[in-house]
Amino acid sequence: MNTQLLSIKAKKFGVRLTSFRLKKGLTTEVLSQWTGISDEKLKKIEQGESTISLPEIELIALKLGFSTESLLTGEIQDQSVKKPDEITVHQYASLRDRMIALTLRKTRMEQNRSLESISAQCGIEPIELEQYEFGNMPLPMPIIECLCTEYQIPVISLVSQKTTIKSSPAMEESSSASEENLPSEISQFVNNPANLPYLELARKLSEMDAVKLRGIAEGLLEITY
């Protein structure tokens, strides 16, 4: 992926983000306060002068009340959500970056692709791709798009579903009934929007079998150590 193509992709997303922000009648200063992403960085993203990571896109979509897919495709799917309490940006982004990195690394290894071959296709150094895969650096969207193209997987498959899941009335009633029996400190943790990424991760892990869990654990150990 050459520099010119990266610049074009960054500018296209910047125009899209500006359009969505203006639809909500917000300034970059307000969006900065809502997301914790600096006003300076938001302006550079909108001008196509700075790349953005997928976790940051998810966070902006959540705060604007649009689906992440809307920001990625430009097709509006207004979620009409209430403004949640402030999410700790760095904790959320760090967790999501590691999850995305682990998914992409696992996909590359399952396809028996080398670091060198993939990095050559995406126009980056093998050591840089390795840093991305270990979650040491946030993955810019143009790089994610290139990797997904190489692995033949949709970008949307990496998006956290927590911003698009809608509970049915039966589920909400069941959830409320269950919370009545929870200790207060656990109930507070569950109801805190800042903990949604952890709850979503726990839900996904609970659905996996022992073999998959062992594989994820080994991958996380490699990233951590």
Per-residue pLDDT tens over the stretch 153-167: 998 888 765 443 333
- Total structural domains within the chain: 1
66 DSSP β-pair partners: 78
Higher pLDDT, 11 or 185: 11
Instruction: Provide the residue range defining the domain that includes 33.
Output: 3-73
Is residue 125 in a domain? no
Q: What is the CATH number of the domain that holds 64?
A: 1.10.260.40
Structure tokens at 45: 């993203």
Our CA angle for 49, 99, 65, nearest 5°, is 60
Is residue 47 in a domain? yes
Is residue 55 in a domain? yes
Q: Report the pLDDT value the prediction gives residue 175, as an integer from 0 to 100.
A: 39
Residues 6+ apart with CB under 8 A from 147: 104, 118, 122, 139
Contact at 8 Å (CB) between 100 and 94? no
200, pLDDT greater than 80: no
**pTM, to two decimals:** 0.47
For the stretch 110-132, pLDDT in tens is: 999 999 999 999 888 999 999 99
Mean pLDDT (whole number) for 54-60:
88
Is residue 214 in a domain? no
For the stretch 81-114, pLDDT in tens is: 444 445 566 677 778 888 888 899 999 999 999 9
Q: Collapsing DSSP states into helix, strand and coil, what is residue 129?
A: helix
Is residue 100 in a domain? no
The region that residue 205 occupies, defined by phi over 0 for left and psi between -120 and 50 for alpha, beta otherwise, is: alpha
